[in-house]
Structure 1
Amino acid sequence: MRVLLTGSSGWLGRYLAPRLRADGHEVTGLDVAPGADTDIIGSVADRAFVDRVFRECGIEAVVHGGALHKPDIVRFPRQAFIDVNTGGTLNLLEAAVAARASRFVFTSTTSLMISSAIREARGDRAAWIDEDMAPLEPRNIYGVTKLAAEQICRLIHAEYGLPVIILRTARFFPEDDDTHRDLAGENMKANELLHRRLTVEDAADAHIVALDRATDIGSGTFIVSAPTPFARDDAADLKRDAPSVILRYFPEAADLYARNGWSLPASIDRVYDSGRAERVLGFRCRTGFAEMLDALRSGNRLPVAHDASYVSPKD
């Protein structure tokens, strides 16, 4: 298929574009910044530009990974988030309908499911987060605009029948967390594989599966995160004493962490449940906490990319 990939210069795009091509697709990379996999420079917020890309490139399917993200809140006004994340998604969807495209995959975020109460860990147990959690109360303009874009995806599917798959991806960014700096970056990323992270390679693979399955499924929203080892019954203990729960599942973890000078999380405030993606979409991340421990045990390269100096191409 002739696939339009937005965000092709970004962290996900640089992994996803080669995967799409390896599957035999003809990829047109679109981004606001140049990159090795970007063919066209421009913004999805420009409707005339989007229409021209569809017309000139004969686009048959869309993988929409381009967006302003949470760290961009300090660099861009709220209106830019509305224009790009919400308006840009509408532009692409309507252009896809007009071009009779066969499918649309939208990269969303688990961030839109995190309210201020969850973010501040106010409860006495870890929040168990799946696609049925409601109400959704995003705490910033990033989450608000991504949730609005999801709703537009569902509306376009309902009105025109365009197959649309929404992937609420957990964390896979390579840089340090911009709000939590109490642990070294690799240590934090390892801990997050227990409950709120996936590798960028798994994120790319999830999009490949979604593109393939879109016409069979029609419309669906899926959390994409490394499979958690925990059960809902662990939620209270995870909040109160996470190491005791982790060591029940992974008895070697304490020794392996100690050898590396790392720390297990004292408390876990949320768990992303990616079970629906496995059951319905047929996708399961290859890398989780067990694979991280395997790497620590063997001394092999860690499976999660970390680059404290990473800067988005658009910046």
Structure 2
Amino acid sequence: MRVLLTGSSGWLGRHLAPLLRAAGHAVTGLDVAPSAQTQVLGSVEDRGLVDRTFAAHGIEAVIHAGALHKPDIARHPAQRFVDVNVTGTLNLLEAAVAAGHDRFVMTSTTSLMISREIRAETGPAAIWLDEASSPLAPRNIYGVTKLAAEGLCRVARAEHGLSCIVLRTARFFPEEDDTHRQLSGENLKANEFLHRRLAVEDAARVHVLALERAPALGFETFAISAPTPFRRAEAEMLKRDAVSVIRAHFPEVEDLYLRRGWHLPESIGRVYDAGRAARLLGFTAATDFAAVLHALREETALPFAHDPAYTSPALKYS
């Protein structure tokens, strides 16, 4: 298929575009920032550009991975988030419907499932988060606009029959976390594979799978994260004494962590459950916490990217 990939110059796009081509698709990348994966420079908020791109490249399907993200809150007003994340999504959906497409994949975020109350983690047990979690009360403009964009996909399916797959991806960025400073970046990322992280390679792979499966699924929303080793019955203990629960699942973990001078989380307040994606989409992330421990045991490279110096190329152009 001739696929339009938005956000092609970003961290996900640079991994996803080659994977799509390897699967036999012709990829046209659209982004505000230039890169080897981007053929069209501009923003999805420009409907004229979207229409011209569809016509010039004979676009047959869309993977919409371009957006303003949480770190952009410090750089852009709320209206820009609406213009890019909401209006931009509407532009693409309307163009896809007009072109007679049968599939549309949108990158969303697990962040929109995190309300202020959930983020505070004040309850007695870890909160289990999946596609059925409600009510959804995003805590910032990023989450609000991504939830609105998901709604537009749902309407496009209901009113026009466009098959839409929404992928709420867990965090897979390579840079340092902008809110947590207690642990080193690698230690924090490793810990997050227990309950809230995804390797970018897995994020790319699930988009290709969603593109293939969309017509059979119609409209679906999936939480996409590394598979957690935990069970819901362990939620209270995870909040009270996470180390004991982790040790029960991985007896050698403390010795392996000690070699690096790393620390396990003493408490885990929320867990992302990607089980539905495994059941309905046929996707399970290849990189999980066991893979991290394997790398520590064998003293090989860690199976995830960590780059404190990484800066999104879009920062210079958006």
SS at match of 1:62: strand
Report the identity percentage: 67
The equivalent of 1:125 in structure 2 is: 125
Supply the distance in 1 between the matched residues of 2:205 and 2:107 (Cα, whole angstroms): 12
**Distance in 2 of aligned mates of 1:100 and 1:54:** 11
Distance 1:304 1:188 in 2: 12
Deviation of 1:87 (Å): 0.7
> Matches of 2:234 and 2:304 in 1, distance apart?
25
**In 2: Cα distance, 1:86 partner to 1:234 partner:** 38
Partner residue, 1:78: 78
Q: Which residue of 2 aligns with 1:210?
A: 210
* 2:232 equivalent to 1:235: no
Q: Distance in 2 between matches of 1:233 and 1:64?
A: 36
Q: Which residue of 1 aligns with 2:225?
A: 225
Q: Which amino acid aligns with 2:209?
A: V
Q: Deviations over 1:235-272 (max 9, x none)?
A: 11111111000000001000000011000011111000
Match of 1:271 in 2: 271
After TM superposition, the structure 1 = structure 2 runs for residues 231-310 of structure 1, keeping only pairs within 5 Å, are 231-310=231-310
C-alpha RMSD of matched pairs (Å): 0.5
Runs of 5+ consecutive residues of structure 2 not aligned to the other structure = none
Please name the residue that 1:200 is paired with: 200
Whether 1:95 and 2:103 are equivalent positions in the alignment is no
1:27 aligned partner: 27
Cα distance in 2 for residues equivalent to 1:130 and 1:179: 23
What is the CA distance between 1:85 and its match in structure 2? 0.5
1:102 CA drift (Å): 2.2
Aligned equivalents of 1:151, 1:111: Cα separation in 2: 16
- Residue in structure 1 matched with residue 12 of structure 2 by the alignment: 12
Matching residue of 1:139:
139
Amino acid at match of 1:233: A
How far apart, CA to CA, are the structure 1 residues paired with 2:208 and 2:231? 28
> 1:124 Cα shift?
1.0
Helix, strand or coil for the counterpart of 2:138? coil
SS for the counterpart of 1:12 is helix
1:122-153 deviation per Cα after TM superposition (whole angstroms, max 9, x unaligned): 21111100100110000000000000000010
Alignment of 1:26-45 (within 5 A): 26-45=26-45
1:243 alignment partner AA: V
Supply the AA of the counterpart residue of 2:250: F
1:66 counterpart SS class: coil
TM-score, scaled relative to structure 1: 0.99
Cα distance in 2 for partners of 1:45, 1:245 equals 47
Provide, for residues 268-293 of structure 1, a one-character-per-residue CA deviation record: whole Å limited to 9, x for no partner: 11000000000000100001000000
1:137 counterpart letter in structure 2:
A
Distance 2:180 2:277 in 1: 28
Aligned length: 315
